[in-house]
Structure 1
Amino acid sequence: MSVEPPPDWVARVSRYPGDTGPTGADWVRTVPRLVDEALQRWGLLVDGPPRTGRTALVVPVRRAGQRFALKVVWPHPDAAHEALALRTWDGRAAVRLVAALPSDGLLLLERLEVEDLTEVWADEACEAVGGLLAGLHVPAPPPVPRIGPYLAPHLERMQQRAGVPRRVTTRTLGLARELLSGDGPELLLHTDLHYENVLRAPDGGWRAIDPQPLAGPPAFELLPLVTHRVEELGTGASLRWSVRHRIALAAEAAGIDLDEAMAWSLLRAGVEVGWAVGLDEPERLTTAVALTKALDG
């Protein structure tokens, strides 16, 4: 049974420029073939309509009465070590990897439920994310990129972008010099654990999905909790309280020092400002600048 990706997803992915691999347009034309080959390779039957993410197609499948999810991912740097991270975690706090063909961006995963944390009370959701992070932070395998080299080009481009407020650049670069100067821990980080990247498991617990692995300190992990569900944060003093409250809840649940969590979140928010300027996304820029103000001081 051939799987046809949804047309709106195909149109969106087709606009992605190539990075170190194929453009979105070139890759998306290969997706039906990749899915068919995976079905044959692993003896799978399609078990429902596909779901889509920003860079992936996920097909419900089954084999000998067991339910799985077949994921095919656009080759890009953030996804390069997803299979390695999932194999390292081996089902601990993250979706379990059953089989993989990383060269083709193919992952066979345990099938989770469609329920995520987007409708869960924010406090409870932050504590759930923190609990997962506590389980995910294990020593990073050597191939996973280290945080210093990963951040270096982003920090350099930030200095070259006239649209980044000078105070944000100064503060971010100062934090980078401070936080990256020592020999910090090199633990396996998810780096994108927001509310939609946590799904309910059949046993009733939560599992992390879609990691963008880096090796570094756990305190780097928490900013996604305030760059998502932003509309609930409020403005002014309410925004500052809400941002700090979410990060504090997750940090406590994860066993992360709060001062370190705030410092790394501020650094990461500054980098987010640079990204938003580079992407010419005014709404994202406004949010990122507001977060730097809420986290500073």
Structure 2
Amino acid sequence: MPSTTEAAALIPDGWREQVSRLPAEGGPSGATWAAGLPRLLADLLDHWGLSPTGTGMTGWTAVVVPVTREGDPLVLKVVWPHHEAAAEPLALRHWAGNGAVRLVAAEPSRGGLLLEALDPTTDLRCEPVEDACEVIGGLLRRLHVPAPPRVRTLSDWLERQLGRLPQHADTVPRRMLDQAESLMRQLATVPEVDGTLLHTDLHFQNVLAAGREPWLAIDPKPLAGRPGFELPPVLWNRLGELGTGSAFRWSVRRRLQVVCEAAGIDEDEARAWVVVRETAEAMSAADDGDRDALTLAISLAKAMDD
């Protein structure tokens, strides 16, 4: 069994300090979890009979270690327990590798996922942006399957956002709040609003090159919802390519159009979801005092206006 010291050496310097600042979301705080991570990582390596082949890579709340088992390349992902990640193993098992990374095994209670190995050095940032958007749309079309039970629902999310709106009358433009409220109430009544399994963080960096297919999605942050809700992350990356002024509006809407066409999503409904979700982003940015994020959210919502 790997020692705690050996496992700790697999975790990039400084990342545990970053995670330690996260407050608890129904489980351990980031600080408590980070303190026990070397032991947890060592236990999971031993449990699955894995041999590390390199230092771990990190996202915001997870560390991913390249490993082998009986000579087969795999990756071990260990996730800090939080609401958005709770149903990740369920979603990956439901997709069964169709458009997404294949789940080999899971220890949900410990946040451990054993996954097929993809190419972490090659994502959609290396592709022309319209080609990348078409790839994302094609993946979404495949990932849109009936949602299984026990996945967070879009109707619950909408209810929470409606409750937040009155608290932001002085920090988010009134017109944006009013428009979002009207759309939230309208969209909450669309058929099967909680019917489809969604990958709510499908952006250019969360699509990696693979061996069995050209591209596969990772890190789903699953939600049971309505197709179109998950499109805003495509607008949050490669910001420098969006331009300014009228070019910004054209570029934003063009990305949306390409993804919608490839995914079979109604573009008008997708624009409405962008306004709704960007209003939620604006409220969070205002809470955090992040002026740049607030400005971007307002600009993206305005770009949806005809």
Q: Following superposition of structure 1 onto structure 2, how do residues 1-297 of structure 1 map, counting pairs within 5 Å?
A: 1=2, 2-4=6-8, 5-114=11-120, 115-161=122-168, 162-185=170-193, 186-297=195-306
How far has the Cα of 1:49 moved from its partner?
Answer: 1.1
Separation (CA, whole Å) in 2 of partners of 1:204 and 1:188: 21
Which segment drifts farther, 269-278 or 242-251?
Answer: 269-278
Q: Deviations over 1:218-271 (max 9, x none)?
A: 111111111111121111111110000000000100011111111112211121
How far has the Cα of 1:19 moved from its partner?
Answer: 2.0
Separation (CA, whole Å) in 2 of partners of 1:197 and 1:159: 34
- AA in 2 matched with 1:218: P
Separation (CA, whole Å) in 1 of partners of 2:124 and 2:165: 32
What's the secondary structure of 1:192's corresponding residue?
coil
Separation (CA, whole Å) in 1 of partners of 2:152 and 2:219: 16
Instruction: Check conservation: 2:158, 2:188, Cα contact below 8 A.
Output: no
Separation (CA, whole Å) in 1 of partners of 2:92 and 2:255: 26
Give TM-score scaled by structure 2 length: 0.94
Separation (CA, whole Å) in 1 of partners of 2:290 and 2:22: 16
Separation (CA, whole Å) in 2 of partners of 1:67 and 1:121: 29
Instruction: Check conservation: 1:68, 1:110, Cα contact below 8 A.
Output: yes
Q: Deviations over 1:142-196 (max 9, x none)?
A: 1112101123213312320221111111010010011112333511000110111
Stretches of structure 1 lacking an aligned partner (at least 5 in a row): none
- AA in 2 matched with 1:111: A
Separation (CA, whole Å) in 1 of partners of 2:99 and 2:46: 30
Stretches of structure 2 lacking an aligned partner (at least 5 in a row): none
- AA in 2 matched with 1:155: L
Q: Which segments of structure 1 move beyond 3 Å, counting only runs of 4 or more?
A: none
Separation (CA, whole Å) in 2 of partners of 1:290 and 1:125: 22
Give TM-score scaled by structure 1 length: 0.97
Q: Percent identity?
A: 49
Instruction: Check conservation: 2:278, 2:300, Cα contact below 8 A.
Output: yes
How far has the Cα of 1:66 moved from its partner?
Answer: 0.3
Separation (CA, whole Å) in 2 of partners of 1:258 and 1:171: 18
Separation (CA, whole Å) in 2 of partners of 1:79 and 1:151: 19
Instruction: Check conservation: 2:152, 2:222, Cα contact below 8 A.
Output: yes
- AA in 1 matched with 2:223: L
- AA in 2 matched with 1:50: G
How far has the Cα of 1:204 moved from its partner?
Answer: 4.7
Separation (CA, whole Å) in 1 of partners of 2:238 and 2:95: 27
